[in-house]
Chains A and B, each alone.
Chain A
C-alpha cells in the first residue's frame, strides 16, 4: 500500500512544484515589499515626528500582538465588508506586507538607535540634509546591526507564507492539504512539503548564521 501511495505521489509531483513556485512568488514579492515598507516605517519610528512615531508604534504593536492567521482573516474577510474586494492572492500579499513590514520596522529602528548621536551631528555639521545623513552616514553603519536579524526575519516570513493557505491560495502547504485528502498518507505528503520548504529556507538560515558570526564585533 505504501509503495502504491508513493508512486501516486511521484505521479502528482509536478503539482507540488507548482505549489513551490507559488510559495516562491509570494515569498519574493512580499520580502521585497516588506523590506521597503519596513525601512520606511523604521526610519519614521526613529524619527523626530512624534505623531508619525506613535502611529507606527501602534501599528507595530497591533501586528506583533496578534497572530498572523488572525491578520490574514481580517484582511480577507473584513476588507470586503468595507468595499475593498481582493482576490485571495492579493489578500495574501497584503497580509504578508502588513505583517512583515512591522517586524522589519522594529529591526531597522533597533539598528538606527544603535548609531550614536554624534554621527548624526557630524552629518549636520558637514552640511548634509536629513535624507543624506540617513543614506550616507546612518544606514550604512546600521546595516551591520540590521542585516543578521533581517535575514533571520526573511526565513520567518518565508515560513509564514504557509499560513496564507487558509484563504485558499494554492501554495505549497495548500497543495499538501489538498493532496492528503486524496492520498491518505499524511507522513509522506507532509514530509515532502516540509522537504521543499527546507530547500528554500535552509540556505537562508545558513546565511543568517554566517552573517551573525561575521558581523559580531
Chain B
C-alpha cells in the first residue's frame, strides 16, 4: 500500500508546500481577526434592544449558520462580479471566511455574555457604573473565560475551512496538493503531506485551546 511512498517527490515539492502553508496561515490569521470584529458587531446587534439592529443581526447569523460555507464562497465568488465588484480570489475567500466565522463567533460571544448572571449586572448598576464600565469591569472579565476556549475551537474550524478556498483557486495548502497531483499524479504523497501540515496546525491550536481551558478552571477556583 504505502510501500512505494515516494519521499523524494515530497522534498522536491516542499518549497511549494511551505508557501501554501504560509498562505493558509496568513489567510487564517487575517480572517479570524476580521471575524472577531464582525462577530462582536453582530453580537452587539443581536443582544441590543433596538429592533432595527436586532433583526438584521439575527437574520445574518441564522442565514450563515444554515447554509454551507462552500455555497457562501461560491455566492461571493460568482456573485460579486455580477454586481460589478472585481476583487482577487484571495480577498473573496477572506471575506467569505470572515462572514462565516463571524456568525459563529457572534453566538459564542453571546453565550459568554449571557453566562454572566443578571445579579452581577444589577450590582454594577447599583454601584453606579455606567454601561461601558459595567462591560469593562464586570461582564467582559467573566465572559472572556467562557468565550476563549470556544473561540480557539472556532479558529481550528476556520483553518480547516480555509481549505475550501482551494476550490476558487486560492493558492493555499490544499491547492498545492491539487497542483502536485495534477502535475505528477501522485495523490497519495500530495494529500497525505497536506493532511500532515494541517495536523501540525491542528495540534498547536488544540493544545492552546486545552491550555486555555485549564486556565479557565484555575480562574474559577478563586
Contacts and interface: CB of A to CB of B under 8 A. Distances in A.
Interface in A51-108: 61-62, 64-71, 73-74, 77-78, 81-82
Contacts of B80: 186
Interface stretch (A6-14, A40-48, A136-144, A158-166): A158-166
A186 B74 contact: yes
Which 5 pairs of residues, A with B, have the shortest CB-CB distance?
A: A186-B78, A67-B163, A65-B202, A77-B187, A162-B68
Interface in B173-190: 174, 177-178, 181, 187-188
B15 interface: no
Interface of A: 61-62, 64-71, 73-74, 77-78, 81-82, 155, 159-163, 165-166, 173, 176-177, 180, 184-187, 189-191, 193-194, 197-198, 201-202, 205
Contacts of A197: 66-68, 71
B82 A162 contact: no
Contacts of A67: 160-164, 174, 198
25 contacts: A61-B202, A62-B199, A65-B198, A65-B202, A67-B160, A69-B167, A74-B187, A78-B191, A82-B1, A155-B65, A159-B67, A159-B69, A160-B68, A162-B68, A162-B70, A173-B68, A176-B71, A184-B78, A186-B78, A187-B75, A187-B78, A194-B71, A197-B67, A198-B63, A201-B67
A197 B65 CA distance: 11
B75 A205 contact: no
B23 interface: no
A81 B187 contact: yes
If over half of B's interface residues share one DSSP class (helix, strand or loop), that class is named, otherwise mixed; here it is: helix
B33 to A, nearest CB: 20
A83 to B, nearest CB: 9
Interface residues of B, number: 42
Pick the most buried of A77, A160, A180, A193: most chain B CB atoms within 10 A of its CB.
A77
A73 to B, nearest CB: 5
B52 interface: no
Contact of A77 (B162, B174, B191): B191
Given A67-B174, A159-B68, A194 B75 contact: yes
B178 to A, nearest CB: 8
Contacts of B81: 186
